[in-house]
Amino acid sequence: PFVDSDHFIHKYFLPKEYALIIPIFAGVSLLSFLSMFIG
């Protein structure tokens, strides 16, 4: 949040949408993987 949006360091990071999509996808896949063994 403290770096300008056109700063060169933004080339090395994923867009902000992935900060929401990746943890949700990881959580859903982990829950479904665990529920296969439990259920």
Sequence-distant (6+) residues with CB within 8 A of 25 are: none
pLDDT of residue 31: 97
pLDDT one-digit tens code per residue, 1-39: 677 878 888 888 888 888 899 999 999 999 999 999 997
Apex CA 25: angle with CA 27 and CA 31, to 5°? 35
Q: What is the 3-state secondary structure (H, E, C) of the chain?
A: CCCCCCCHHHHHCCCCCHHHHHHHHHHHHHHHHHHHHHC
For the chain, give every domain's residue range.
8-38
pLDDT of residue 23: 96
pLDDT of residue 10: 81
pLDDT of residue 16: 84
Q: How far apart are the first and last CA of the chain?
A: 43
pLDDT of residue 39: 74
pLDDT of residue 8: 85
pLDDT of residue 32: 97
- In 3D space, the residue among 27, 28, 5 whose CA is nearest the CA of residue 16 turns out to be 5
